[in-house]
Amino acid sequence: MVGSWSLEWLLAELIILVVTFPTIARLVRSIRSTAGLKPVADGSRREPRISVVIPARNEADRIGPLLDSLASAPGIIEVIVVDDESTDGTARVAQAHGAVVVSSPSRPKGWVGKTWALQQGIVAARGEWIVSLDADTRPSPALPESVVQWAEEREATLTTVAGSFECPTSGAQLIHPALLTTLIYRYGRPGAVGDVRVIANGQCMVFRKDDAIEMRFMEHVRGELIEDVALARLLVQEDRNVVLVDGAELLRVRMFEDFPSTVRGWGRSISLAGIESHSRLLGQLVAVACSQVLPIVFIISGIAPVMGSLLLAIRIGTLVGSSSSYPQRKWSFWLSPVADVLAWSIVARGVIRHFVGAPVVWRGRTYGPSRSSL
């Protein structure tokens, strides 16, 4: 009886090891990630010609601080705000803050609002380099020049920047880090060596205008709701260098204000369901459940106490490691692992909605399910 129980225990440990090994290996590789983005040293400045492009739809309340932060940024020759049929005075606010406003014409069939707006900004830009920013970002004035030099030195066709997060309420700081951990467990930390399954952050994308025009960046991903990752994977498949760099020192992002808006907003895209195969999505759900959600169950139940303890230690280490992405940490940040079950269920809900072909409502528009499996 004892021998049978020992065999069952060893088998359970082995099964959990096999299921979670890719996640563990990914996190270990992330430890060797490249250094984060730093301001350009005075002696190494090249004064690149940069156009900043900001796609905006009903962002009158948020776009002013972003434009103010760019007013003294070196290397910028223009800031273009592409007004995507806003009804709240976004264009007026942008003009008052000195931006060039481009009114986006009506979207052609098959285009998503953001990709169409970015296309208009790319065409209108006069700079050699384009830095696209979302309206919820708060960049340091040093960001555009620094990330362009980073991209030049690495000969990157596409560079995206992962910033630090502003979560103003305790509720947001409870759920946001748990959701971020599901991404880290599935894809690793920013700066990790990528492959065809690379991810990107569309809140800040950097590329040469000539590349975007010649390779038709936005046309290729015109119908994608997760256009950043879709574009990154398309370029990797074509043997182009794609980099996701940790820019927490130079870029802050205030995505959501509270718990409900975080669940609602990130729930739209956190699963990455539109760009992964069905089998990979299911495999990720199982792996994240075992790695992030169930370790304490493995320990308490005695099913797999060794692997459970290892996975729990990794979860705590991930929390500590990601703390630098939340400079204004509240007490609820350290309790965010209690929201892991909810975070996993949000990812699972996104996968299920994709499987059944549910439409996505975003920025007042309804889109059909993404069809890509890049």
- How do residues 30-62 score in pLDDT, each as one tens digit? 766 556 888 877 656 677 799 999 999 999 999
Domain residue ranges in the chain: 49-169+192-234+244-255
Strands (E), the chain: 50-56, 76-83, 100-103, 129-133, 137-139, 158-162, 164-165, 204-208, 242-246, 251-253, 360-362, 365-367
What CA–CA distance (Å, rounded) separates 15 from 9? 10
Question: What is the side-by-side strand order in the sheet with 137-139?
Answer: 137-139, 251-253, 164-165
> Is 245 in contact with 159 (CB distance < 8 Å)?
yes
pTM of the entire predicted model: 0.90
CA distance 337 to 318: 10
More confident residue, 102 or 7: 102
Smallest Cα–Cα separation from 309: which of 48, 4, 363, 301? Answer: 301
Cβ neighbours, 10 Å, residue 84 = 23
Q: What per-residue confidence (pLDDT) applies to 37?
A: 83
Instruction: Tell me the pLDDT tens digit for each residue of 158-191.
Output: 999 999 999 999 999 999 999 999 999 998 877 6
- Mean pLDDT confidence for 339-345: 96
Tell me what pLDDT residue 1 has.
Answer: 44
Mean pLDDT of 255-276: 90
The string of pLDDT tens digits covering residues 135-162 is 999 999 999 999 999 999 999 999 999 9
Helix/strand/coil for 164:
strand
CATH class of segment(s) 49-169+192-234+244-255:
alpha beta
The reported pLDDT for the residue numbered 374 is: 42
More confident residue, 362 or 100: 100
pLDDT over threshold 70, residue 2: no
Looking at the chain, the whole-number percentage of residues with pLDDT higher than 90 is: 68
Res 32: pLDDT: 63
Query: Phi then psi for 363, rounded to 5 degrees?
Result: 55, 40
